[in-house]
């Protein structure tokens, strides 16, 4: 298994990479067993609160700086973009991770913890900019 190369620096010229895995308990598309195997092969810590412990993985409290796995429950596979009770929390966690990663300190938060403010509209609408003209912004046609 080559998954450990995701975080050991061997794929990035010696610089470690950071990965946030967001797992939906009872995911109907990606079995939790597959996510567990991936996390175990990386040696990824579970960032708490942990819903279902994975044997062999350490548990750490949130906020946690680095790479790790965070679990969600009561939703669907595509919860980051689909209307789901976990959409806002998942997007808040992801945006916080990416934003803090740009400062060199990728931090996994517990998006359900009290006092988590956000300064973006939720649910976040995915878009991308045209590289040749930064004034052009595209939104997927199937979005409201």
Contact status, residue 109 vs residue 116, Cβ threshold 8 Å? yes
pLDDT tens track for 62-121 = 999 999 999 999 999 998 888 888 888 998 899 889 888 888 889 999 999 866 554 444
Question: pTM (2 decimals)?
Answer: 0.77
Task: State whether the Cα torsion 70-76-81-82 is positive or negative.
Answer: negative
Beta strands in 1-144 (DSSP E): 20-24, 46-47, 59-60, 64-65, 68-72, 107-108, 128-129, 137-138
């Amino acid at each position: 298994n080559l998954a450990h190369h995701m975080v050991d620096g061997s794929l990035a010229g010696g610089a470690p990479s950071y990965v946030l895995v967001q797992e939906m308990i009872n995911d109907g598309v990606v079995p939790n067993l597959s996510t567990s195997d991936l996390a175990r092969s990386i040696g990824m810590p579970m960032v708490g609160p942990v819903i279902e412990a994975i044997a062999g993985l350490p548990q750490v409290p949130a906020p946690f700086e680095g790479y790790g796995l965070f679990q969600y429950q009561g939703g669907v596979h595509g919860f980051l973009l689909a209307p789901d009770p976990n959409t806002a929390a998942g997007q808040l966690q992801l945006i916080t991770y990416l934003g803090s990663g740009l400062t060199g300190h990728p931090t996994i938060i517990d998006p359900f913890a009290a006092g988590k403010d956000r300064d973006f509209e939720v649910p976040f609408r995915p878009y991308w900019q045209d590289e040749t003209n930064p004034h052009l912004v595209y939104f997927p046609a199937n979005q409201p």
